[in-house]
């Protein structure tokens, strides 16, 4: 027998190798004879390439080859963009620049050498003759007719899109009041601690290519890279070993992945490229990058009647995999946790001389939540209402679910008020407000911020996704009784090896140590989609769950046959198939001892010892299924099941975050006093992992709210090019989090789970900014743009 | 011109000829195949490459291998003794102090040194002691709890 696992704080099975330093990330894999690749990257944001002289580099010690754009333009297809939007302009995105460069960090040439030092040395010997061109980095300037970046297009506008339902003009015309605010979402760098990296090995005899890559989407990458370099998809194997964080930045297909594969095929040797942090900030996707106006129409009692967001989206120079789609996700979530009868979003998405933006943790939804929550705070300020009460007034009630929004979504389930109440109770909200009043009287600057967010997870129904929104699982019981799960939801720190084993442990009545979860190898795992959009448990975990049910049906049939009983008399419990009579005896304490699954007999495969038994362990059934001497008629040997789960809808987790800050009048320094988060991510498989996801998400929000921004200067030079300039939060920057949960199961999947990977980055920024703005309310402040730094705060205090 | 170095790593003596510019982290990873020590930024900011050099936690991406000549180095692989995990390692497992695991070896080595210097640190002292190590996944809360767990555990033994 085993304890139940689901819902328990189970320690991760993947941890021992990681905490001993014995795990393998891409750069930890060493193949004999590996050559190393380093890139020549553009130092200009926009320039014509008049020539590239590679002669000195080619003759440098250790250099094996140098490839330029001209060498590969006709050999390797364009870097893919999977987003389809009406009239979308798609630039021809080659793996190496040909006659122009479009952003600082744009790859121009690849140098291949016998070791990484030699490759790096030779990069400096490649002479590029640049002729600089006018640069456009500001998205509004790009929209207004600045220098045109891609010559084959008439302007820099990649697409325009208007979305939403309801009569927005009527809503604004009939409103008692309206508020309007310009809001910036600066570009952010995802900064996975492990930068990207690729190891490619071509086997000329087998004509097979293996790519080890630090990616979130091994299967999608295999398909795309196969098309790019013209190798049959089933001759390309993509392996993701440990992946050191992604946050969306590895939900992509990058030029380097295809190029490394192609180079290995040319040279017949393994080739490796490990991204430096400088390259990572230059040439791995950025997140956010929106400038827009939020307008809210409302009644004098605080009832919302309309919301409009008119935004310029900074796409960068090229489309990466999902670049154009990200702003449209913002549009989907503009109803927030509220009943808003009319919503409109107007997007103008533009090319700029910068790295592409794409999915960074939350991917368009943090922008939406931030806009809506800032809007609600402005409404509260306008009416002199408590921000929590404005929110409460506009929540849909639990009985109104599925709740249709004016952005075209149907929220699955929710109880927003209970989460708000719980957070207020934990925070001692009323008392906090009283303390704040007293503190203000003493001249202290204390602020309280409230965010009641809803997010869209479990991406998603295939209808809404560019390349399938399902997920796959194969579950099999090996002849020795060990359980193997193959999942397409390849993780990068989320802990699916544990959480999926927990699901299997309960459903099959086995110890989780007897379950192995295999992922991230297209040579082993059936096709899958990947881990992003808080989908792994809700979609991938459900696939595991349903595959297990299928498998159990077969196991039950076999057990019934062996026990020579009616199917209705055989029950499954605690990893054991028993005759009902035997079960009754077991209850009386006379059952035979259960053989723990996993203690397989040593030596040759034994004969199933099943004759005359009144019960069978899963291991007995698995062995019988493989030995196949006594199976029911028309039953396939073996014991495995595969399921591709297609969700019918997204899931919509929600919650309330309350931040309390105090500002130092002398320095402008912002200190957290409290941080309370009540999140509802549906049913919880492992509360410890959920807490970890929430903490990590909130701290990325703290980064966005107070520290982080990718800065390009007017010439398009990247000013924040290293971790010395790009400020990622450190341990000393965080509050002592107070977390709690409500649990509203999702009706969309049989596990009732919703997803939690992005909740923190979505729910927290408005609470933090709201708290800082609230602290500065005595100075008449109603809005500040992120990141809010002590200097901004100090200037506000000292300008009064 | 290569230079001979002799150093002890995790209690094992090594003699090698290395280029003077070879970084200690590359020596550990590429020559000794101790790949538990990671590179995350190459500017000494992230701490993923933290190892003990003669008892001091250092960032091995900004130490040359030749500077470690004659020294004793402990990496993450050498922290467990006789198959028993170091209390900090136990703490990280127990308290879910890691997600992707990439910063973890450096974080654990830094935390071990922190506890060497201060057996019973306050929350603030832990945060200060880990300022040189970045984690992008955990939000630090569980790392702080892991170090608190290790301090308590070490205090009991």
Cβ–Cβ < 8 Å for A455, A759: yes
Tell me the per-residue pLDDT of A99-122, one tens digit each, with 9 for 90 and over.
Answer: 999 999 999 999 999 999 999 999
- Is A599 a residue whose pLDDT tops 50? no
Residue A560 within a domain: yes
Cβ–Cβ < 8 Å for A281, A721: yes
Listed residues A582, A616, A645: the one ending a domain: A645
A248 vs A647: CA distance, rounded Å: 21
B85 vs B103: CA distance, rounded Å: 18
ipTM: 0.98
Residue A171 within a domain: no
Residue B3 CB contacts under 8 Å (≥ 6 apart), including other chains? B17, B18, B19, B20, B66, B69
Question: What are the chain A neighbours of B133 within 8 Å (beta carbons)?
Answer: 731
Cβ-defined contact of A699 to B30 (cutoff 8 Å): no
A381 vs A360: CA distance, rounded Å: 31
Cβ-defined contact of A493 to B137 (cutoff 8 Å): yes
For residue A570, give its domain range.
461-645
Cβ-defined contact of A193 to B133 (cutoff 8 Å): no
Residue A406 within a domain: yes
Please tell me whether residues A367 and A474 are part of one structural domain: no
A161 by DSSP, 3-state: which? strand
Of B75, B92, B126, the CB nearest to A19: B92
Cβ-defined contact of A723 to B94 (cutoff 8 Å): no
Of A20, A278, A492, the CB nearest to B89: A20
- pLDDT at position A610 is 67
- Is A593 a residue whose pLDDT tops 70? no
Please tell me whether residues A413 and A531 are part of one structural domain: no
Mutant choice from A35, A280, A731 vs B, greatest count of B C-beta within 10 A:
A731
Minimal Cα–Cα distance from A778 to chain B, Å? 31
Tokens 């991204």 -> residue: A275
CA A40 to chain CA mean position, Å: 30
Radius of gyration of chain A (CA): 28
Higher pLDDT, A360 or A594: A360
Cβ-defined contact of B41 to A723 (cutoff 8 Å): yes
Side-chain-facing half-sphere of A99: CA atoms under 13 Å: 4
A406 vs A339: CA distance, rounded Å: 9
Model confidence at B157, pLDDT cuts 50, 70, 90, reads: low
Count of CB atoms situated within 10 Å of the CB of A118: 19
Cβ–Cβ < 8 Å for A68, A54: yes
- Is A598 a residue whose pLDDT tops 90? no
Listed residues A222, A240, A274: the one ending a domain: A274
CA B114 to chain CA mean position, Å: 11
A500 vs A510: CA distance, rounded Å: 13
- Is A585 a residue whose pLDDT tops 80? no
User: What whole-number percentage of chain A has pLDDT above 90?
Assistant: 94
Count of CB atoms situated within 10 Å of the CB of A223: 18
Bridge partners of A162? A346
Cβ–Cβ < 8 Å for A197, A214: yes
Tell me the per-residue pLDDT of A17-30, one tens digit each, with 9 for 90 and over.
Answer: 999 999 999 999 99
H or E element, residue A451: strand A445-454
Cβ–Cβ < 8 Å for B100, A12: no
Show the tokens assigned to A693: 């996801």
- pLDDT at position A605 is 59
Mean pLDDT for the stretch of residues A488-503: 97
Question: What are the chain A neighbours of B85 within 8 Å (beta carbons)?
Answer: 19-20
Strands (E), A455-600: 471-477, 483-487, 515-519, 570-573, 576-579
Of A276, A696, A737, the CB nearest to B99: A696
Cβ-defined contact of A243 to B130 (cutoff 8 Å): no
Tell me the per-residue pLDDT of A435-444, one tens digit each, with 9 for 90 and over.
Answer: 999 999 999 9
CA A115 to chain CA mean position, Å: 34
Tell me the per-residue pLDDT of A285-325, one tens digit each, with 9 for 90 and over.
Answer: 999 999 999 999 999 999 999 999 999 999 999 999 999 99
DSSP secondary structure of A650-702: -B--EEEEEEEEEE-TTT--EEEEEEEEEEE-BS-S-HHHHHHHHHHHHHHHH
A489 vs A562: CA distance, rounded Å: 36
A238 vs A224: CA distance, rounded Å: 11
CATH number of domain containing A210: 3.90.1170.50
Please tell me whether residues A527 and A606 are part of one structural domain: yes
Please tell me whether residues A481 and A556 are part of one structural domain: yes
Of A242, A247, A700, the CB nearest to B101: A242
CA A623 to chain CA mean position, Å: 40
Of A243, A697, A731, the CB nearest to B144: A731
Please tell me whether residues A489 and A609 are part of one structural domain: yes
Which residues 337-376 on chain A approach chain B with CB closer than 8 angstroms? Answer: none
Which residue in chain A has the smallest CA separation from B132?
Answer: A730
- pLDDT at position A595 is 38
Cβ-defined contact of A696 to B102 (cutoff 8 Å): no
Please tell me whether residues A554 and A617 are part of one structural domain: yes
Please tell me whether residues A661 and A735 are part of one structural domain: yes
Minimal Cα–Cα distance from B110 to chain A, Å? 13
How many structural domains is chain A composed of?
3
Instruction: Kindly state whether A727 is in contact with chain B, defined as any CB-CB distance less than 8 angstroms.
Output: no
Cβ–Cβ < 8 Å for A529, A466: no
Listed residues A645, A679, A697: the one ending a domain: A645
Cβ–Cβ < 8 Å for A695, B140: yes
Please tell me whether residues A419 and A308 are part of one structural domain: yes
Tell me the per-residue pLDDT of B84-132, one tens digit each, with 9 for 90 and over.
Answer: 999 999 999 999 999 999 999 999 999 999 999 999 999 999 999 999 9
Cβ–Cβ < 8 Å for A689, A498: yes
CA A666 to chain CA mean position, Å: 39
What angle, rounded to 10 degrees, do the helices at A365-383 and A387-394 form?
A: 110
- pLDDT at position A594 is 39
Cβ-defined contact of B141 to A492 (cutoff 8 Å): no
**N- to C-terminal Cα distance for chain B?**
50
Which residue in chain B has the smallest CA separation from A281?
Answer: B41
Cβ-defined contact of B19 to A117 (cutoff 8 Å): yes
Residue A239 within a domain: yes
Cβ-defined contact of A19 to B19 (cutoff 8 Å): no
Please tell me whether residues A676 and A598 are part of one structural domain: no
Tell me the per-residue pLDDT of A330-382, one tens digit each, with 9 for 90 and over.
Answer: 999 999 999 999 999 999 999 999 999 999 999 999 999 999 999 999 999 99
Which residues 117-146 on chain A approach chain B with CB closer than 8 angstroms? Answer: 117
- Is A603 a residue whose pLDDT tops 70? no
Residue A443 within a domain: yes
Cβ–Cβ < 8 Å for B37, B25: yes
Residue A10 within a domain: no
Residue A183 within a domain: no
Q: How many CB pairs under 8 A join A and B?
A: 177
Cβ-defined contact of A21 to B100 (cutoff 8 Å): no
Cβ-defined contact of A731 to B126 (cutoff 8 Å): yes
Please count the residues of chain B: 157
Which residue in chain B has the smallest CA separation from A695?
Answer: B139
Residue A421 CB contacts under 8 Å (≥ 6 apart), including other chains? none
Cβ–Cβ < 8 Å for B39, B100: no
Instruction: Kindly state whether A275 is in contact with chain B, defined as any CB-CB distance less than 8 angstroms.
Output: no
Count of CB atoms situated within 10 Å of the CB of A633: 5
- Is A265 a residue whose pLDDT tops 50? yes
Which residue in chain A has the smallest CA separation from B99?
Answer: A493
Cβ-defined contact of B77 to A22 (cutoff 8 Å): yes
Of A16, A492, A698, the CB nearest to B93: A16
Residue A313 CB contacts under 8 Å (≥ 6 apart), including other chains? A139, A289, A290, A326, A327, A347, A348, A349, A350, A357
Tell me the per-residue pLDDT of A420-433, one tens digit each, with 9 for 90 and over.
Answer: 999 999 999 999 99
Q: Which of A388, A389, A410 is nearest to A400 (CA)?
A: A410
Tell me the per-residue pLDDT of A211-229, one tens digit each, with 9 for 90 and over.
Answer: 999 999 999 999 999 999 9
Tell me the per-residue pLDDT of A67-110, one tens digit each, with 9 for 90 and over.
Answer: 999 999 999 999 999 998 999 999 999 999 999 999 999 999 99
**Mean pLDDT, rounded, of chain A:** 95
Cβ-defined contact of B96 to A11 (cutoff 8 Å): yes
Higher pLDDT, B12 or A610: B12
Question: What are the chain B neighbours of A700 within 8 Å (beta carbons)?
Answer: 136, 139
Residue A588 CB contacts under 8 Å (≥ 6 apart), including other chains? none
Vertex A142, ends A139 and A144: CA angle to 5°? 110
Please tell me whether residues A714 and A603 are part of one structural domain: no
Cβ–Cβ < 8 Å for A228, A80: yes
Cβ-defined contact of A28 to B19 (cutoff 8 Å): no
Cβ–Cβ < 8 Å for A145, A155: yes
- Domains of chain B (ranges plus CATH)? 3-77 (3.10.20.30), 87-156 (1.10.150.120)
A283: left (phi over 0), alpha (psi -120 to 50) or beta: alpha
- pLDDT at position A428 is 98
Mutant choice from B100, B111, B125 vs A, greatest count of A C-beta within 10 A:
B100
- Is A650 a residue whose pLDDT tops 70? yes
Of B42, B128, B141, the CB nearest to A277: B42
- pLDDT at position A591 is 40
Please tell me whether residues A353 and A469 are part of one structural domain: no
Instruction: Kindly state whether A23 is in contact with chain B, defined as any CB-CB distance less than 8 angstroms.
Output: yes
CATH number of domain containing A363: 3.30.365.10
A363 vs A412: CA distance, rounded Å: 20
Cβ-defined contact of A242 to B100 (cutoff 8 Å): yes
Cβ-defined contact of A695 to B138 (cutoff 8 Å): yes
Which residue in chain B has the smallest CA separation from A732?
Answer: B127
Which residue in chain A has the smallest CA separation from B134?
Answer: A730
Of B46, B126, B128, the CB nearest to A193: B46
A682 vs A677: CA distance, rounded Å: 15
A35 vs A100: CA distance, rounded Å: 28
In the sheet that holds A47-53, the strands lie side by side as A100-101, A47-53, A127-132
Radius of gyration of chain B (CA): 15
Q: What is the DSSP pairing of strand A157-163 with strand A342-351?
A: antiparallel
A35 by DSSP, 3-state: which? strand
Tokens 């005899």 -> residue: A205
Please tell me whether residues A470 and A544 are part of one structural domain: yes
Give the global pTM: 0.96
Cβ-defined contact of A30 to B89 (cutoff 8 Å): no
Q: Kindly tell me the sign of the dihedral angle through the C-alpha atoms of A137, A143, A144, A150.
A: positive
Mean pLDDT for the stretch of residues A714-728: 97
- What are the phi and psi torsion angles at B108 (to 5°)? -65, -45
Cβ-defined contact of A492 to B100 (cutoff 8 Å): yes
Minimal Cα–Cα distance from B60 to chain A, Å? 15
Mean pLDDT for the stretch of residues A22-49: 98
Which residue in chain B has the smallest CA separation from A193?
Answer: B40
- pLDDT at position A800 is 79
A178 vs A169: CA distance, rounded Å: 12
């Amino acid at each position: 027998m085993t304890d139940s696992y689901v819902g328990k704080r189970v320690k991760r099975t993947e941890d021992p190798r990681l905490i001993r330093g014995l795990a393998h990330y891409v750069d930890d894999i060493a193949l004999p004879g590996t050559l190393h690749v380093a890139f020549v990257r553009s130092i200009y944001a926009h320039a014509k390439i008049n020539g590239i002289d590679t002669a000195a580099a080619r003759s440098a010690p250790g250099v094996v080859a140098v490839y330029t754009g001209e060498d590969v333009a006709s050999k390797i297809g364009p870097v893919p963009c999977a987003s389809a939007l009406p009239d979308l302009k798609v630039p021809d995105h080659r793996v190496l620049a040909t006659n122009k460069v479009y952003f600082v960090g744009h790859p121009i040439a690849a140098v291949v050498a016998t070791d990484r030092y030699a490759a790096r040395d030779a990069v400096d010997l490649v002479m590029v003759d640049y002729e600089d061109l006018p640069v456009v980095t500001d998205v509004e300037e790009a929209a207004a007719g600045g220098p045109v970046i891609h010559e084959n297009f008439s302007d820099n506008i990649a697409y325009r899109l208007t979305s939403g339902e309801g009569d927005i003009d009527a809503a604004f015309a009939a409103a008692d009041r309206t508020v309007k605010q310009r809001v910036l979402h600066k570009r952010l760098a995802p900064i996975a601690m492990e930068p990207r990296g690729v190891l490619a090995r071509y086997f000329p005899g087998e004509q097979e290519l293996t790519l080890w890559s630090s990616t979130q989407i091994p299967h999608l990458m295999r398909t795309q890279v196969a098309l790019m370099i013209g190798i049959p998809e089933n001759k390309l194997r993509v392996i993701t070993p440990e992946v050191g964080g992604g946050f969306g930045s590895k939900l992509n297909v990058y030029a380097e992945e295809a190029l490394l594969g192609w180079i290995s095929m040319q040279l017949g040797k393994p080739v490796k490229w490990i991204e430096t942090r400088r390259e990572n900030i230059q040439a791995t996707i950025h997140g956010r990058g929106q400038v827009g106006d939020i307008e809210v129409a409302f009644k004098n009692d605080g009832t919302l009647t309309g919301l409009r967001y008119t935004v310029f989206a900074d796409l960068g120079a090229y489309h990466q995999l999902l670049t154009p789609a990200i702003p449209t996700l913002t549009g989907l979530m503009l109803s927030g946790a509220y009943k808003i009868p009319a919503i409109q979003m107007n997007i103008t998405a533009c090319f700029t001389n910068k790295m592409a933006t794409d999915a960074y943790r939350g991917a368009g939804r943090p922008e939406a939540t931030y806009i809506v929550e800032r809007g609600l705070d402005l409404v509260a300020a306008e009416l002199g209402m408590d921000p929590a009460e404005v929110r409460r007034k506009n929540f849909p009630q639990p009985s109104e679910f599925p709740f249709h929004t004016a952005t075209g979504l149907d929220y699955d389930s929710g109880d927003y008020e209970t989460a708000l109440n719980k957070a207020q109770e934990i925070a001692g909200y009323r008392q906090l407000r009283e303390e704040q009043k007293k503190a203000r009287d003493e001249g202290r600057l204390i602020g309280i911020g409230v965010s009641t967010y809803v997010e869209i997870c479990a991406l998603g129904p295939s209808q809404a996704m560019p390349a399938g929104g399902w997920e796959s699982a194969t579950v099999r019981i090996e002849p020795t009784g060990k359980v193997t799960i193959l999942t397409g939801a390849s993780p990068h720190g989320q802990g699916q090896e544990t959480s999926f084993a927990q699901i299997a442990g309960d459903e099959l009545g086995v110890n989780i140590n007897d379950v192995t979860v295999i992922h991230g190898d297209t040579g082993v795992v059936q096709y899958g989609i990947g881990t992003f959009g808080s989908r792994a448990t809700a979609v991938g975990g459900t696939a595991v769950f349903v595959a297990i049910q299928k498998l159990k049906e077969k196991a039950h049939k076999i057990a019934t046959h062996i026990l020579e009983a009616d199917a209705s008399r055989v029950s499954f419990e605690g990893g054991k198939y028993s005759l009902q009579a035997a079960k009754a005896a077991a209850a009386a304490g006379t059952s035979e001892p259960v053989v723990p699954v996993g203690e397989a007999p040593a030596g040759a495969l034994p004969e199933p010892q099943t004759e005359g038994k009144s019960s069978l362990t899963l291991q007995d059934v698995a062995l019988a299924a493989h030995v196949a001497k006594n199976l029911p008629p028309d039953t396939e040997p073996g014991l495995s099941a595969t399921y591709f789960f297609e969700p019918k809808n997204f899931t919509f987790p929600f919650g309330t975050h309350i931040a309390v800050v105090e500002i130092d009048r002398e320095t402008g320094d912002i200190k957290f006093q409290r941080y309370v988060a009540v999140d509802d991510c549906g049913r919880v498989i492992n509360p410890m992992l959920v807490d970890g996801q929430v903490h990590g998400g909130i701290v990325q929000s703290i980064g966005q709210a107070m520290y982080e921004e990718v800065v390009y200067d007017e010439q398009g030079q990247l000013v924040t090019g290293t971790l010395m300039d790009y400020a990622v939060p450190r341990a000393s920057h965080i509050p002592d989090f107070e977390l709690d949960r409500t649990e509203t199961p999702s009706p969309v999947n049989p596990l009732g789970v919703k997803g939690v990977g992005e909740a923190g980055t979505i729910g927290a920024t408005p609470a933090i900014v709201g708290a800082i703005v609230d602290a500065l309310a005595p100075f008449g402040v109603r809005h500040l743009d992120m990141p809010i730094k002590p200097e901004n705060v100090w200037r506000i205090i000292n300008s009064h | 011109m290569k230079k001979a170095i002799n150093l002890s790593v995790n209690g094992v003596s090594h003699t090698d000829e290395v280029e003077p510019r070879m970084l200690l982290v590359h020596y550990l990873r590429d020559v000794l195949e101790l790949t538990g020590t990671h590179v995350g930024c190459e500017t000494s900011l992230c701490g993923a490459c933290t190892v003990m050099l003669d008892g001091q936690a250092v960032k091995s991406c900004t130490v040359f291998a030749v500077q470690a000549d004659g020294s004793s180095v402990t990496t993450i692989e050498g922290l467990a003794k006789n198959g028993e995990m170091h209390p900090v390692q136990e703490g990280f497992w127990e308290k879910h102090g890691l997600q992707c695991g990439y910063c973890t070896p450096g974080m654990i080595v830094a935390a071990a040194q922190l506890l060497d210097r201060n057996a019973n640190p306050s929350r603030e002292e832990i945060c200060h002691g880990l300022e040189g190590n970045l984690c992008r996944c955990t939000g630090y809360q569980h790392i702080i709890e892991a170090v608190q767990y290790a301090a308590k555990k070490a205090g009991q033994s």
